[in-house]
Amino acid sequence: MVNFIGAYDCKADAKGRVMMPVALKNQMSPIINEGFVIKRSVFRNCLELYPMSEYNLLMEKMNKKNKFKQKNNDFIRRFSAGVKIVEIDGAGRLLIPKNLVEVANIKKEVVLSSAINIVEIWDKESYEKVLEETTEDFAALAEEVMGDDGDDDVS
């Protein structure tokens, strides 16, 4: 399993290419040859960059869903909309497909933000707005998400 660390400010060029920061590229080096999958986020107007191995694990889980339930098919269709296989080229750039640039409203300023085993790709203005929106409720959210898992070893 991959665990990415950090948030990085970058720039996208007119073709949707983003130069990967050296620190993030170094974290990706053990898996860079596997390739990546880029897709729209389920919850926010950003993109998610999955290492191929992580995406395959997710697909295994989704493949166990009963496809004779309409909700499952509807979810899979929506989840898979716009999914593309991408690579980081020899110059260290990630080409974001044009339709996904539009989905995430990416202009020039971009933030690549680690989210454990994936990297979120945000328009910088949208990223800062989401951080600001969630700042006030973060303590309550942390308590709800992490506070009652029965594991006393986590501080």
- What pLDDT does 124 receive? 97
Please identify which residue in the block is written with the tokens 């050296």.
22
| CATH tag, 7-124 | 3.40.1550.20
pLDDT digits (tens, 9 = 90+) for 91-148: 999 999 999 999 999 999 999 999 999 999 999 999 999 998 877 778 788 888 888 7
pLDDT score of 135: 72
Q: What percent of the chain has pLDDT over 70?
A: 95
The confidence score (pLDDT) of residue 1 equals 73
Compute the CA torsion angle 29, 34, 35, 38 (nearest 10 deg).
-100
Beta bridge pairs of residue 88: 94
127's enclosing H/E stretch is: helix 124-135
What are the sequence ranges of the domains in the chain? 7-124
Query: From CA 68, how far away is CA 86, in angstroms rounded?
Result: 31
What's the confidence (pLDDT) of residue 100? 96
**pLDDT tens readout for residues 43-55:** 999 999 999 999 9
DSSP 8-state assignment for residue 77: H
